[in-house]
């Protein structure tokens, strides 16, 4: 993949289908992606109440294979992929030696000696390079499958009903954060029970060349339960309500996992060194410099990414993501603030244009599905 800003963005294998559906397309992380098909609010509600279909073919799929794949990944990432059972997945991060987050990842164990690391589209090249460097000298190799892989997600309470008639994978036996080999609509696929919406749902990995066939089979099945295709706009409001971080907003190179409230992802108890261990041990011992909190804006206005946050008359931090919550009907935000200022119930002020607007600190997530 090219980092050249002047290069044309990548096309997912579904670009023509998005356009035929009337999607508004934007350039996102080097890809031309649908931001919305009809209405972000309608797409959001479809996922919360029924089902939504997402094209995630822009995500990076990095395969790590070899006799030492597990131990090599333990040394490259903050989590302990060696502890994953085959067919299971976990949330992870790759950090720089200073502990700053390079990307957040999902790691799937496909076999004893084979893992799939899914990276954000905008970071896929950087992660691929860093992993290749960190695997050097081990008996594990990196194979970047990003452009060879299509990824389509079905998310929402009805997603299991949508997918069940189309697949030979035992979906009812597939646990959250598990992955299985099989077929969907006759297409060889890996089906994972993962997602980024706060709802039950599935992510289906197929060969790029079969992505169109997969979409064509799934779209009518989603529409049959009154679901709809969903673009990046609603993907963002869904993940924000679910309290899930977005790289570039909540996570970046200046932020350690502990600063983002995600210290649990870092397995300091795993044996051996890993990139970032010394720096992260220090943060774990000294305590983080910042904390990530949820805010509900109580005055008028929507807190947006980059807006300053004040505690009394002192600036304490910044809004990392904010929107009008479609599910709550209130403006919600995540903010990175001073560790002492973030107890739930605290009233902070968000600087929205010229005004200081009160906002209450609340526990994350903002939205939790009924299970």
Partner 1 sequence: MSVPTDLRYTRDHEWVRLEGELASVGITQYAADQLGDIVFVELPDAGRELEATKPFGVVESVKAVSDLYAPVTGAVAAVNDALATSPELVNSDPYGEGWMIQVRLAADADLGELLDAEAYDDLVAAG
Among 208, 324, 327, 346, contact with partner 1 (rule: CB under 8 A):
324
Among 200, 331, 332, 361, contact with partner 1 (rule: CB under 8 A):
331
The span of 7-15, 92-100, 232-240, 266-274 binding partner 1 (CB under 8 A) equals 232-240
- C-alpha to C-alpha distance for 317 and 339, rounded to whole angstroms: 10
Nearer to partner 1, 81 or 233 (CB): 233
Nearest distance from C-beta of residue 28 to partner 1, angstroms: 12
Alpha helices in the chain (DSSP H): 15-20, 40-49, 69-76, 124-135, 159-163, 211-224, 232-241, 277-286
- Joined together, the tokens standing for residue 30 give 């080097």
27 φ/ψ sector (left φ>0, alpha ψ -120 to 50, else beta): beta
The span of 63-71, 158-166, 276-284, 294-302 binding partner 1 (CB under 8 A) equals 294-302
Contact between 359 and 352 (Cβ < 8 Å)? no
Instruction: Work out whether 167 is an interface residue with partner 1 (CB under 8 A).
Output: no
Nearest distance from C-beta of residue 39 to partner 1, angstroms: 5
Cis omega (within 30 of 0) on the bond before 365? yes
Contact between 160 and 170 (Cβ < 8 Å)? no
Instruction: Work out whether 237 is an interface residue with partner 1 (CB under 8 A).
Output: yes
Question: How many of the chain's residues bind partner 1 (CB under 8 A)?
Answer: 17
Nearer to partner 1, 313 or 354 (CB): 354
Nearer to partner 1, 101 or 332 (CB): 332
Nearest distance from C-beta of residue 332 to partner 1, angstroms: 12
Instruction: Work out whether 35 is an interface residue with partner 1 (CB under 8 A).
Output: yes
Contact between 321 and 240 (Cβ < 8 Å)? yes
Instruction: Work out whether 304 is an interface residue with partner 1 (CB under 8 A).
Output: yes
Nearer to partner 1, 41 or 339 (CB): 41
Nearer to partner 1, 61 or 236 (CB): 236
Instruction: Work out whether 314 is an interface residue with partner 1 (CB under 8 A).
Output: no
Among 2, 39, 139, 369, contact with partner 1 (rule: CB under 8 A):
39
- C-alpha to C-alpha distance for 349 and 366, rounded to whole angstroms: 19
Among candidate residues 284, 237, 223, the one with its CA nearest the CA of residue 257 = 284
- Joined together, the tokens standing for residue 212 give 């169109």
Would you give the binding string for partner 1 spanning residues 182-221, x where CB under 8 A is met? Answer: ----------------------------------------
* DSSP codes, 76-144: HSSS-GGGPPTTBEEEEEEE-TTS-EEEEEEEEEEETTEEEEEE-GGGHHHHHHHHHHHHTTSS-EEEE
- Residues at the contact surface with partner 1, assessed by CB under 8 A: 35-36, 39-41, 233, 236-237, 300-302, 304, 323-324, 326, 331, 353
């Amino acid at each position: 993949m090219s980092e050249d800003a002047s290069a044309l963005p990548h096309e997912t294998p579904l670009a023509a289908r998005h356009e035929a559906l009337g999607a508004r397309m934007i350039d996102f992380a080097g890809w031309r992606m649908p931001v919305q098909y009809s209405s972000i609010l309608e797409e959001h509600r479809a996922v919360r109440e029924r089902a939504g279909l997402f094209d995630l073919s822009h995500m990076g799929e990095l395969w790590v294979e070899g006799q030492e794949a597990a131990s090599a990944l333990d040394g490259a990432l903050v989590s302990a992929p060696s502890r994953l059972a085959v067919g299971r997945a976990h949330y992870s991060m790759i950090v720089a030696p200073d502990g700053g987050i390079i990307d957040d990842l999902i790691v799937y164990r496909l076999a004893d000696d084979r893992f799939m690391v899914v990276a954000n589209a905008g970071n896929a090249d950087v992660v691929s390079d860093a992993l290749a460097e960190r695997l050097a000298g081990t008996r594990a190799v990196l194979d970047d499958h990003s452009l060879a892989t299509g990824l389509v997600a079905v998310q929402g309470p009805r997603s299991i009903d949508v997918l069940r008639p189309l697949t030979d994978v035992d979906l009812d036996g597939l646990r959250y954060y598990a992955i299985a080999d099989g077929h969907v609509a006759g297409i060889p696929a890996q089906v994972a029970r993962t997602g980024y919406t706060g709802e039950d749902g599935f992510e289906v990995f197929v060969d790029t060349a079969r992505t169109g066939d997969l979409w064509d089979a799934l779209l009518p099945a989603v529409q049959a339960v009154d679901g709809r295709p969903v673009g990046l706009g609603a993907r963002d409001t869904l993940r924000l309500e679910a309290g899930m971080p977005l790289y570039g907003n909540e996570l970046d190179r200046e932020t350690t996992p502990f600063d983002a409230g995600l210290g649990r992802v870092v397995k300091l108890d795993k044996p051996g060194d890993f990139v970032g261990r010394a720096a992260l041990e220090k943060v774990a011992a000294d305590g983080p410099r910042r904390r990530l909190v949820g805010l509900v804006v109580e005055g008028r206005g929507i807190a947006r990414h980059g807006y300053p946050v004040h505690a009394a008359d002192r600036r304490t931090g910044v809004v990392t993501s904010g929107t009008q919550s479609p599910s709550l009907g209130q403006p919600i935000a995540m903010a990175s603030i001073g560790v002492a200022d973030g107890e739930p119930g605290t009233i902070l002020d968000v600087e929205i244009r010229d005004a200081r607007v009160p906002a209450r600190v609340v526990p994350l997530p903002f939205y939790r599905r009924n299970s």
